[in-house]
Amino acid sequence: MFLEVAGLVVRLIYSIVLMLVAPLVWFGMGWRARKTEGDWGIFAAERFGCFPQPWDGRPPVWVHAVSVGEVRAAVPLIQSLLLKGDRVLLTHMTPTGRAEARRLLAREISDGQVRQQWIPYDFYGSMNRFLRHFSPRLVILIEREVWPNLVHAARVRRVPVILASARFSERSARQTRRINQIFGGLLRDTYSGLTKVLAQTPEDARRLFDAGAPDVSVCGNLKFDVTLPVVAVQGGQAWHERIARPTVVIASTREGEDARFVPLIAEQVRQPIEPAGVPPLFVLVPRHPERFDQAAGLLDSHRLRYVRWSMIRDDPAALDDVKEMEVILGDTMGELPFFYGASDAAIVGGSFEPHGGQNFIEASAIGVPVLVGPHTRNFRDAVISALQAQALVQVNDPEQALMQALQWLREPDQAHQIGMAGKSWVATHVGATARISEAIATLNPMDDQGF
């Protein structure tokens, strides 16, 4: 009884603090919305768990994928659920995640198999109304999206909550311990409320168990199960053949990285690559759309001949113009499979400034040799594994990355060897979707999980 009262008090304090800081969160979301011209649904009724019409179907499986990376990782699992006859309620926090899901699951959304919503803010009333409205039979949170009032509201309603493809770094563990000290064990109580945790690695599993999760096992990383669109990859390969130039894609760059890469590109774009005897083409793809214009400004300031991909992607006549360009600015979303197919080498950003890295597995999956920088905490175990398999090269800074990529252009046999090692490495790690599906199938929603 004492523990229940203590938990109630801690969640009450958390909820009050959340309400006090909510205006700052909304201001930040509004600022990003103005920069990207995106719809965040900041004050949409569904953000507060309010819906004018009743849910029209049987209890769905609620899958929460916060943004683009989690959406891509979740797609194979969602498709597996649909094949078994479930309907899926898919929620997001960001408009880019919402748009990516619409792109990847267009048919399923159109057919009504998948319903998209904004995730409610983690006010207890909002979460409780959301759960009451949709009455999901199961909640699946992708990677690390664990919210105290969400988990507690689900526990009260006896809805199992699974944290799938979970990652939990040492940094996250330290942050969790600090929050527990401030809020009297809030997150320990939250993690203890999870029905099952399916971690990416044994290290993630150990840290999650230490954080309070009672039922933890290892399932692997869903990102290995992502099937890249064959048409997009083959389209990129065909486009690469037509332009007949050695190509380097610098993908998913984050804040501070474009400013480091662009001057280096300017130094190299006019150096012919032997044996082709033509200068390289660089494809620069910022991670977030709000930075497309900033990247364009950097290219302008260094007097590089470039073209925005959005201006030429649907214009076959623009191919001759591309042959005169030095850089293509990838200013569209969801086209990395095409660019990877069109490249001879890939430098994956988010890792040259302390952002934690971005997903490099997609490039490796199609046999493109990959380079990453020193900051890869978000993919720490995958990077270590790939390095051990000689399927990846990690460097210290953008200059080393660019020099190695250009060396691969000059020595395609070495590049091919790295690329094929990457492809084989990805193949050995596939299977997280099947393991998560098996865990779901054996889950008894009425099991006593301490509800």
Q: Which residues are catalytic?
A: 70
3-state percent breakdown (helix, strand, coil) of the chain, nearest 5:
55, 15, 35
Distance CA 110, CA 102 (A): 9
Peptide bond into 229 cis (omega under 30): no
Rounded to whole angstroms, how far apart are CA atoms 368 and 385? 17
In one-letter notation, the amino acid at residue 15 is: S
Q: Which residues make Cβ contacts (< 8 Å) with residue 20, sequence separation at least 6?
A: none
The sign of the CA dihedral 226, 229, 233, 236 is: negative
Phi–psi pair at 142, nearest 5 degrees: -95, 120
Q: Return d(Cα 156, Cα 193) in angstroms, integer.
A: 10
Q: Residue 448: what residue type? A: D
Task: Let me know how long the chain is.
Answer: 451
List Cβ neighbours of 114 (8 Å cut-off, separation of 6 or more).
Answer: 78, 82, 87, 88, 89, 90, 101, 105, 108
Task: Say how many C-beta atoms besides its own lie within 10 A of residue 292's C-beta.
Answer: 21
Task: For residues 286 and 291, give the distance between their C-alpha atoms in angstroms, rounded to a whole number.
Answer: 7
**Cβ distance 131 to 153 under 8 Å?**
yes
List 284's β-bridge partners, or say none: 250, 329
Residue 263 CB neighbour total at 10 angstroms: 14
What DSSP string runs through 28-80?
HHHHHHHHHT----TT-GGGGT--SS---SSPPEEEE--SHHHHHHHHHHHHH
Contact between residue 22 and residue 47 where contact means Cβ atoms under 8 Å apart: no
